[in-house]
Structure 1
């Protein structure tokens, strides 16, 4: 799948003191690259790092400033390691400037253990029985196949007089199908439209400030699922003084909870 746009967008190369990547116009948002691919690029640098051990357990990305179109550097540092886990720090900057993105990650050895999943996958018809969302807007949206079951956004009007539900349930796949791995799972954890768009029924200035995604499967678990799409849910609990929360879940079609995510985002409305 080296010719897949997602592969090209998240590609990194190792340097003497840092790693390098480049933005892609195919995954562009309002004022910079889609945050999901930025996070996935950070994760790729960590996965491919020669000192990396274990599987991704958690990744937090703080978006400090817009990333300009073009190349960027990734300063990757292993902060602490023990027999079971590794703690990493990554700074993304451009042209020697201040960091535009700060990230921390935890990798862990996922050994066999007692397992239990109290959470139940939401009910949903199969992916291929749900109509595709037509998309539009930012270029990154065109790279995904969204199939809404609940909470399909409608932005044609001038907003609603009363707040609407911020909840969405949908299937998500790459528009050109790609077998799901940690990188695509990371990007899809940010592939939700801003909850404020749903609550207000209109587009407003918006941007993610901080995103954390937790992975609940090993790479062997994920490979065994052998899937190209996930069932995703997203909701918000509060909109106040220019900021909103968001929490989401990503499920395999077999009913396995693959990842959960939380974020805080800025809006102007």
Structure 2
């Protein structure tokens, strides 16, 4: 079970020698409840980057003794910014079948829910397999220079972005001709870290808001909800043994303060690892 591997246990997440991502998503049982701490390393404009919040909530499910299988699909709803300091995580199993287990997690501060997650874990068995989707073309990871550190928000420094198409170019006003919402990039943790379900979930939220690319400027935004489907389990990811993924992101419509956002994460070997969709609030 992926949830019981050394890399995803609470013990592995603790301590200053752990990877920043594991420190940021650390959970602990304190006085009969589960607790985490908002990491300054992964802060965005008004709170922690949503991807690391989602990964923390997924980690607390993996820490449960009755957790079985690997993440199949996760939906996280971000109701309010998570403030600095600690937060409580209330986790409970909802339903178990022969192949799946359904979970609910609520993240709260001062008695108010800031985010909640529903997750389905599955015990995958050998079966017929087919991948109609084709990996987007891209030069090798090392052949592309990483995006310079913009210093806009701390969480961006925790990743290396190597853009193949749709490199960010933002100004102080919207461009006269709207740009494409599509972008393609290699992505890895900084420093590098072996890809697992936790990092995949977090990376699904690393695509910069599509409205930034279209308008060519940074405007107030926020992820309202994000659903991720995992197309690889722990055995698949162990087989890939990769610290990088190729990401592709797009959007279809911006309307009355909200837009969609879709994304794919691919292994260097051409395996589709995860797909994601978001609803994003914007003010423009």
Q: TM-score, normalised by structure 1?
A: 0.97
Match of 1:99 in 2: 113
Q: 2:261 aligned with 1:256, yes or no?
A: no
Shift of 1:72: 0.3
The answer for unaligned runs of 5 or more in structure 2 is 1-11
Which of structure 1's runs of 4+ aligned residues deviate more than 4 A?
A: none
Match of 1:68 in 2: 83
The verdict on how the C-alpha distance between 1:174 and 1:90 changes in structure 2, with shifts beyond 3 A counting, is same
Task: Please point out which of 166, 170, 193 is paired with 2:208.
Answer: 193
Deviations 1:205-252 (A, max 9, x none): 000000011000110111110000000000000000000100000000
Task: Please point out which of 49, 52, 56 is paired with 2:64.
Answer: 49
Shift of 1:162: 2.6
The answer for unaligned runs of 5 or more in structure 1 is none
Secondary structure of 2:51 counterpart = helix
Secondary structure of 1:197 counterpart = helix
Secondary structure of 1:87 counterpart = strand
Q: 2:155 aligned with 1:153, yes or no?
A: no
Deviations 1:15-62 (A, max 9, x none): 465311001111000110000000000111111211100110011000
Task: Please point out which of 225, 229, 232 is paired with 1:210.
Answer: 225
Q: For residues 162 and 156 of structure 1, what CA distance do their matches in structure 2 show?
A: 13
Deviations 1:108-147 (A, max 9, x none): 0100000000101011111000111013211000110000
Match of 1:131 in 2: 145
Q: For residues 258 and 132 of structure 1, what CA distance do their matches in structure 2 show?
A: 22
Shift of 1:164: 1.0
Match of 2:158 in 1: 143
Contact 1:17/1:75, CA 8 A, preserved across alignment: no
Task: Please point out which of 44, 54, 78 is paired with 1:29.
Answer: 44
Secondary structure of 2:278 counterpart = strand
Shift of 1:157: 4.2
Q: For residues 18 and 119 of structure 1, what CA distance do their matches in structure 2 show?
A: 42
Q: TM-score, normalised by structure 2?
A: 0.92
Q: For residues 146 and 107 of structure 1, what CA distance do their matches in structure 2 show?
A: 30
Match of 1:84 in 2: 99
How much is the aligned-residue C-alpha RMSD, in angstroms?
Answer: 1.1
Secondary structure of 2:67 counterpart = coil
Q: Which 10-residue stretch deviates more, 155-164 or 239-248?
A: 155-164
Q: 2:121 aligned with 1:121, yes or no?
A: no
Q: For residues 96 and 267 of structure 2, what CA distance do their matches in structure 1 show?
A: 31
Shift of 1:163: 1.8
